[in-house]
C-alpha cells in the first residue's frame, strides 16, 4: 500500500495541474485590482508596484508558481493533508447530524456499558466474508474496552440474491428483542463463525442451516406477522441510513463520542479493520489524540 504522503501528493498533484493551468491567468487578471490596492498607500509605491507586476506575463507567473511547488514539495503535502482533513470533517459532519438514528436503542441491538463514553457502530451482513473476518476483532474490543458501547446495524446487502441474509438479520433482531443483549451477542458471533466455515468449504448457507443453528443455541425464530413487519421496517431503515451516509459495502464502522459527538472526533472506517486502528478511533472519539 502506498504511504500516506505519496497518496496525498498524488491527490494534490492532480489538483495542482488543474490549478496551475488557470492560476496564471487568474493572477494576471487580478493585476489591476492589486495595482488599485497598492495605489491607496502612496503614489511612489503605487508606480513602482505597478511596473513590477505588469512586467510579468501570465505564462511567467505560471512558471514561477510551478517552480516554487517543485522546490518546496512539502507544501504540497501540507495542502493535501489540510484538504484531506477538511474532506474527512465534512464527511463526519453528516454522520454527527445522523446521531439520533445511529445511536437508537429501541430496535438496534446494543452491547456494553450504558454509561460508556464512546460508541462503535457496525453495519454488517452475516454472509459477508470481511464481516466474518472482523468479528473476532470486535469481540476482542468488547472484552478490552469497558467504556465503549457497541451498536449493531443489521445491513443485509446480500439479501436480494441470497434471501437467508435478510432472514438472518431479522432473526438477530428477534433474538435481541426476546432474549436480550447477551443472547444476541452469542447468536451474532456464532453465526459469523458458522457462515465463515460454509464459505470456506464453498457450501451455500441455507434457511435450514440457520434454523438448525438457532435451535441448537436454545432460541426460536418464529415471528408473528406483526414482528416480521417490524423487523423488515427496521432493516429498511438501516439500509436507508447507510445509503444516506454513503455506506455501500460491509463492514462499515462509525466511532463517535456518545456524550458530545463532533466531526473532529468522529471516525468512519470502511471495510474490515484491525484492533489497533479501532482502538485509535476510540481514543480519538474520547478526544485523546
Helix (H, G, I), strand (E, B) or coil at 76: helix
Q: What is d(CA 102, CA 108) in angstroms, rounded to the nearest whole number?
A: 9
Residue 267 has pLDDT above 90, yes or no: yes
pLDDT interval class at 72 (50, 70, 90): confident
7-16, 76-85, 102-111, 182-191: least confident range: 7-16
| Confidence check: pLDDT of 279 > 60 | yes
Residue 117 pLDDT class (50, 70, 90 cuts): very high
Residue 216: per-residue pLDDT: 96
pLDDT at 67: 78
pLDDT-derived band at 71 (thresholds 50, 70, 90) equals confident
Segment 6-11 mean pLDDT: 39
Residues ≥6 apart with Cβ < 8 Å to 25: 58
Kindly tell me if the per-residue pLDDT of 169 is higher than 90. yes
The model's pLDDT over 118-159, given as tens digits with 9 standing for 90+, comes to: 999 999 999 999 999 999 999 999 999 999 999 999 999 999
pLDDT in tens, 184-203: 999 999 999 999 999 999 99
Residue 53 has pLDDT above 90, yes or no: no
Contacts with 23 (C-beta within 8 Å, 6 or more apart), sequence order: 61, 62, 65
pLDDT for position 119: 97
User: Is the Cα torsion angle 196, 156, 105, 275 positive or negative in sign?
Assistant: positive
pLDDT at 256 over 80: yes
Show Cβ contacts of residue 253 under 8 Å, excluding neighbours closer than 6 positions: 120, 121, 122, 123, 267, 268, 269, 270, 273, 278, 281
pLDDT averaged over the chain?
Answer: 81
- pTM beyond 0.85: no
Structure confidence by residue, pLDDT tens digits, 75-103 = 655 545 443 444 444 456 689 999 999 99
Q: For residue 234, how many other CB atoms are within 10 A of its CB?
A: 20
Give percent of the chain with pLDDT exceeding 90.
66
| Average pLDDT over every residue of 230-234 | 97
Amino acid at each position: 500500500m502506498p504511504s500516506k504522503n505519496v497518496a496525498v501528493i498524488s491527490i494534490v498533484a492532480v489538483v495542482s495541474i488543474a490549478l496551475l493551468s488557470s492560476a496564471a491567468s487568474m493572477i494576471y487578471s487580478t493585476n489591476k485590482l492589486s495595482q488599485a490596492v497598492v495605489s491607496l498607500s502612496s503614489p511612489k509605491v503605487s508606480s513602482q508596484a505597478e511596473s513590477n507586476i505588469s512586467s510579468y506575463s501570465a505564462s511567467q507567473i505560471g512558471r514561477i508558481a510551478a517552480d516554487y511547488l517543485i522546490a518546496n514539495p512539502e507544501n504540497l503535502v501540507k495542502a493535501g493533508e489540510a484538504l484531506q482533513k477538511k474532506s474527512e470533517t465534512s464527511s463526519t459532519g453528516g454522520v454527527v447530524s445522523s446521531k439520533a438514528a445511529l445511536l437508537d436503542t429501541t430496535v438496534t441491538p446494543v452491547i456494553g456499558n450504558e454509561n460508556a463514553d464512546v460508541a462503535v457502530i457496525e453495519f454488517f451482513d452475516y454472509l459477508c466474508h470481511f464481516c466474518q473476518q472482523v468479528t473476532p476483532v470486535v469481540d476482542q474490543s468488547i472484552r478490552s474496552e469497558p467504556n465503549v458501547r457497541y451498536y449493531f446495524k443489521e445491513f443485509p446487502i446480500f439479501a436480494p440474491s441470497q434471501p437467508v441474509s435478510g432472514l438472518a438479520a431479522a432473526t438477530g433482531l428477534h433474538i435481541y428483542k426476546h432474549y436480550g443483549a447477551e443472547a444476541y451477542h452469542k447468536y451474532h458471533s456464532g453465526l459469523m463463525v458458522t457462515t465463515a466455515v460454509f464459505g470456506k468449504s464453498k457450501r451455500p448457507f441455507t434457511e435450514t442451516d440457520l434454523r438448525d443453528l438457532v435451535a441448537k443455541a436454545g432460541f426460536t425464530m418464529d415471528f408473528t406477522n406483526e414482528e416480521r413487519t417490524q423487523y423488515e421496517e427496521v432493516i429498511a431503515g438501516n439500509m436507508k441510513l447507510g445509503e444516506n451516509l454513503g455506506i455501500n459495502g460491509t463492514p462499515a464502522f462509525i466511532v463517535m463520542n456518545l456524550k458530545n459527538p463532533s466531526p473532529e472526533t468522529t471516525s468512519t472506517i470502511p471495510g474490515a479493520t484491525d484492533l489497533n486502528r479501532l482502538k485509535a478511533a476510540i481514543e480519538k472519539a474520547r478526544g485523546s489524540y
